[in-house]
Structure 1
Amino acid sequence: MSAYELLQMERDGAVAIVTIDRPEKRNALSAQVRAELIAVLDELRDDDGVRVLVITGAGDNSFVAGADIGEFAQRTPLEQRAAMTGRRVFDEVAAYPKPVLAMINGLALGGGCELALACDVRLAADTAKLGQPEINLGIIPGGGGTQRLPRVVGTGQAMRLILSGEIIGAAEALRIGLVDVVHPATELRERTLEFARGMAGKSPVALRMAKSAVRAAAEMPLSAGLQYETEAFITCFGSDDKREGVAAFLEKRTAEFTGR
């Protein structure tokens, strides 16, 4: 276990599980939580023993129920601008070189939904609820929701959720593509870790190149994205992992990837 005040970090083989631990505040994203999340990402970035990260919330009711409204309630526009400069946890998660999975065990609202959107794969309990209810406070999503949500679910569904503030259940979130997998709540952790362990057994080089190329698809025209993919593919050809993966396939054995 790592020593963070508002996070718990544990390891399951090559998988790191980061738990936001503010159950009394429904794991709301305070400034300290955001800073600690960035710190744990930095800690694990160059740790070759960790290949996949899982982010979740403490307890059974909340992943992250939103931002800590009490922190910004009295801010002026200039104060809020200052608070939104520098490294932002949503962008750090999205750009992280290793796969990051959201294990959505309950409410994922506002900033919590945005944190999940920044992750690479979203696995939810069947009891989870998601939404962008900022409109009810007279504001809009400010952690990437207006940009990442349309890229995930399409413009129409994003408009529906952002303009109405509607909170939807896991089944509806799965239907529109807001989450990728739904498990019974009692099985969520076991099934998520099983999935994460399988991913962690792949080549770290290929995982990094694949994530980077898929992320590029949202930023580039098709022609540029295809060129980006070609270069990432060629980069894999220079790795020990590619040589090991091909050799293992031809020799009909399990590959042992080193990340080199």
Structure 2
Amino acid sequence: MQDTVPDQPRIITERRGHVFLIGFNRPEKRNAADLALLQQLALAYGELERDPELRVGLVYAVGDHFTAGLDLADIGPRLGPDGIDIVPEGGIHPWQVGGQSLSKPVVIAVQGTCLTLGIELMLASDISVAAESTRFGQIEVARGILPFGGATLRFPRTAGWGNAMRWILTGDMFDAAEAHRIGLVQEVVPDGTEFDRALELAERVAGQAPLAVQATLANARTAVRDGVAAAEARLQPALARLAATEDSRIGMESFLTRTPATFIGR
């Protein structure tokens, strides 16, 4: 079945100060991800990474649903012996399972139905906000495939082994209260307010010293990926580099004068 607006961008972007809004824009298909959506999302992540004026990404979805998962009718025929390549030149894998990590934080707002790759995108992001009526499902096993966007890596780490396997291996649906209980989402808010709350959090992060935010994120990821000892070894060198920045001076002046800091990213 053809999309009602075939030339409509699958991903829409907007710069709002230092926050980069990245919106799923296929509401007539419940934001199911075809190859075009995946590639446009990867390009948006690449833009977020490269532009020094952009400090935080905010991923959201147009319409009633965050995503119904993969559009298997479009993606299925494209799967080859090595899977599928969704990252064009200049893009970054949004699920960050391709060897390159985003250096900037991502906040995500979800509503309605959030299936498969939607959950995995939350797991690959840093702060998640859900509308209270959101329904989640990691349903790949019911389709004869496995989660390939990072759920097998991150879901057990986030929720604990048993909590993760309860949902990954059964393909059962669960609600926002359960998502909050197991740590998949950080806040559950009334329906219709999830974007505004996510934007508040993104702007709060964007107001901090960006080099310090990125260094903090990088060290935490090092601890997860390479172990605590590797992260410990990088703490003091990272601190020394940050202490020599203009933002460190601005932060100290803000502390001493008790006035708000306006960081410049240098």
Please report the TM-score for the alignment, with normalisation by the length of structure 2: 0.89
Match of 1:73 in 2: 76
| Secondary structure in 2 matching 1:36 | helix
Larger mean Cα displacement after TM superposition, 62-71 or 201-210: 62-71
Match of 1:54 in 2: 58
Q: Unaligned stretches of 5+ in structure 1?
A: none
Cα distance in structure 2, aligned partners of 1:186 and 1:67:
24
| Secondary structure in 2 matching 1:179 | coil
The counterpart of 1:91, out of the listed 76, 96, 101, is 96
The counterpart of 1:42, out of the listed 40, 46, 59, is 46
How far has the Cα of 1:84 moved from its partner?
A: 4.2
Q: Unaligned stretches of 5+ in structure 2?
A: 1-6
| Secondary structure in 1 matching 2:169 | helix
Contact 1:4–1:36 (8 Å) recurs in 2 = no
Contact 1:174–1:180 (8 Å) recurs in 2 = yes
Aligned: 1:194 with 2:200: yes
Render the CA deviation track for 1:37-80: whole Å, top value 9, x for unaligned. Answer: 111122232323321110011112x112211111243466xx15
Larger mean Cα displacement after TM superposition, 153-162 or 231-240: 231-240
Cα distance in structure 2, aligned partners of 1:104 and 1:145:
17
Render the CA deviation track for 1:79-118: whole Å, top value 9, x for unaligned. Answer: 1525148663311798211111111122221111111111
The counterpart of 1:7, out of the listed 4, 11, 15, is 11
Larger mean Cα displacement after TM superposition, 45-54 or 95-104: 45-54
Matches within 5 A, 1:120-159: 120-159=126-165
Letter in 1 for 2:241: T
Cα distance in structure 1, aligned partners of 2:56 and 2:86:
28
Aligned: 1:210 with 2:216: yes
Match of 2:24 in 1: 20
How far has the Cα of 1:221 moved from its partner?
A: 2.3
Contact 2:38–2:86 (8 Å) recurs in 1 = no
The verdict on how the C-alpha distance between 1:174 and 1:251 changes in structure 2, with shifts beyond 3 A counting, is same
| Secondary structure in 2 matching 1:56 | strand
Aligned: 1:236 with 2:242: yes
Letter in 1 for 2:93: R
The counterpart of 1:32, out of the listed 21, 25, 36, is 36
Match of 2:4 in 1: none
Letter in 2 for 1:65: A
Size of the aligned set, in residue pairs, is 255
The verdict on how the C-alpha distance between 1:103 and 1:92 changes in structure 2, with shifts beyond 3 A counting, is farther
